[in-house]
Amino acid sequence: MAAEELRILTRHLGAPGVTGLPGYEAVGGYRSLRRALGMTPEAITAEVKASGLRGRGGAAFPTATKWGFLPQDVFPRYLCVNADESEPGCFKDRVLLEELPHQLLEGTLIAAVALQASHAFLYVRGEYRAPRELLDRCVAEAYRAGYAGQGVAGSRFGCELVVHGGAGAYICGEETALLDSLEGLRGQPRLKPPFPAVRGLYGQPTVVNNVETLSNLPYIIEHGGAAYAALGTEASPGTRLFCVSGHVERPGTFEVPMGHTTFRDLIALAGGVRTGHVLKAMQPGGGSMQVLGPEHLDLALDFKAVADAGSSLGAGALVVMDETTCMVDVSMRLVDFYHHESCGKCVPCREGTYFESRLMHRLEAGLASADELLTLADICEHMEGRCFCPLGDTATWFVMSAYRRFADEFRAHCGAGCCPVRAAAEAAA
């Protein structure tokens, strides 16, 4: 069967003027919000539960369950939209922000009704300046049309929408760091518990949901949770927007039903591995996740199947690497990223990523000794599970999985005086 997209979340992508309010209303936009305003919060949450929707930011936590953690009768409550997309290889939320901003706002308002939230804060990463400016204009349109502020769409429910621009800190995608950043502090993670649902923004009950998660809500309210769940499989309901990049013919985002689609299908949608080359490795989930190989091509895009293979669908990325790729170089770039983005709060992450990075630069340059590979493993062992938040753990996952799978390639770098993979490529050229 040829791989095909199934456009649910992106069904209105490219519709005339859909980035503006009239264009979005023309395709039925904000009808789901009106319907939600006629439902009880419990009924909305029940539909989301029936949909099986799981968080699309990376942790895949069931959305309705997360909402259910809010304590009864404690107000005000806040909703935060996590648009701090910064996972290497991920650019799906940017597509939703740039192409379907009102769908996100409608989903945000539906969630706000379900949670009875007085404010929804949209935290957009600093690098996404143009998408943030677009979102500012859309929020202004929503206010003028009466979809935001006091008396949403003529109801008695009120919700303020606030767009908040970040300023270049990957860690703010971690939900408690995002809350600190929103409070005007350095974006460093908080100790959990208490979880944000109990004590979040300004100490009040707070839900943090990803852009893609919320953008699914208009469809779920319009068609019902069961219809959404039926699109995927029982374990992985619905569709998902995957970002395919690296050595493929046509990088981009592709929406596919989960569970029914394989990595091979996804790569086919992106035009296949670039012509004349073969697949060496792939990284699903984004920069944090473990490497997979050609033998995993027929794995279904299913939370459990990918977890069983030792990796994760994470935030919905797929980075494709062909035979010319140096796995030490790739590992070094990811380690550098985590080193740069470590917030400095805890020692294992702050110091661990520093030593990891130094060592990987020596290794890629062919200057490290074989003993240093043991040091690398040792550093990673002392980081994983010992850091304050998941950033430190994930700074070890790709490099260690690559080291296990491509041990010979790592060893060949030791004392080589240069990168042997690059040298071989240059000799062949």
Partner 1 sequence: MAEAAGPPAAATPLLSAATRERIRTACARYPAARSAALPALWAAQDQLGHVPPEAMAEVAAELGIGAAEVEAVATFYAMYFRRPPGRHFIQVCTNVSCALRGAEGLLRHLEERLGIPDGGTTLDGAFTLESTVECLGACGGAPALQVDRYSHEDCTPDRVDRLLERLRAEPGPTGAPR
The residues of the shown chain that bind partner 1, judged by CB under 8 A, are 76, 85-91, 93-94, 119, 125-130, 160, 162, 164-170, 181-187, 202, 243-247, 251-253, 283, 287, 317, 319, 321, 325, 329-330, 333-334, 337, 340-341, 343
| 159 DSSP β-pair partners | 149
Is the CB of 219 or the CB of 242 nearer to partner 1? 242
Coil vs helix vs strand at 259 = coil
- Residue 15 contacts residue 21 (beta carbons within 8 Å): no
Contacts of 191 (CB under 8 A, 6+ apart): 388
Q: What minimum distance in Å lies between the beta carbon of 321 and partner 1?
A: 6
Q: What's the Cα-to-Cα distance from 283 to each of 171, 270, 293, 303, 305, rounded to whole Å?
A: 21, 15, 9, 15, 15
Place of tokens 């944000």: 196
Which contiguous run of DSSP H or E holds residue 98? helix 92-99
Please identify, using beta-carbon distances, which residue of 23 and 251 lies nearer to partner 1.
251
Residue placing its CB nearer to partner 1 in the complex, 1 or 427: 427
Residue whose CB is less far from partner 1, 317 or 360? 317
Contacts of 111 (CB under 8 A, 6+ apart): 67, 79, 117, 120, 207, 209, 214, 217
**Which CB sits closer to partner 1, 128 or 157?**
128
Nearer to partner 1, 44 or 289 (CB): 289
Question: Judged by CB, which is closer to partner 1: 90, or 376?
Answer: 90
Phi/psi of residue 207, nearest 5 degrees: -115, 135
Sheet containing 78-83: order of strands: 160-165, 119-124, 78-83, 206-210
Q: How far is the CB of 172 from partner 1 (least distance, A)?
A: 9
Q: Got the DSSP string for 229-242?
A: HTTS-SSS-SEEEE
For the bound state, the minimum distance from the C-beta of residue 139 to partner 1, rounded and expressed in Å, comes to 11
Give the E-state strand segments of 307-369 in sequence order: 317-322
State the nearest-atom distance from the C-beta of 281 to partner 1, in Å: 11
**Least distance from partner 1 to the Cβ atom of residue 51, Å:** 27
Q: Cβ of residue 43: shortest distance to partner 1, in angstroms?
A: 28
Q: Whose Cβ is closer to partner 1: residue 5's or residue 329's?
A: 329
Element (H, E) at 21: helix 21-26
> Shortest Cβ distance from residue 228 to partner 1 (Å)?
26
Q: How many CA atoms lie within 13 A of 248 on its CB side?
A: 23
Count other C-beta atoms under 10 Å from residue 240's C-beta.
Answer: 26
Q: How far is the CB of 93 from partner 1 (least distance, A)?
A: 8
Q: Smallest distance from the beta carbon of 372 to partner 1, in angstroms?
A: 22
162 or 297: CB nearest partner 1: 162
Q: Shortest Cβ distance from residue 34 to partner 1 (Å)? A: 26
Instruction: Identify which of 335, 314, 366, 330 has the alpha carbon closest to the alpha carbon of residue 247.
Output: 330
Please return the burial class of 234, using the count of CB atoms within 10 Å of its CB with bins 0-12, 13-18 and 19+.
exposed
Instruction: Name the residue nearer to partner 1 (CB basis): 13 or 50.
Output: 13
Q: How far apart are CA 231 and CA 249, in angstroms?
A: 28
Which residues have CB under 8 Å from 386's CB, separation 6+? 348, 392
Q: List Cα–Cα distances, 218 to 12, 18, 82, 181, in angstroms.
A: 12, 15, 18, 28
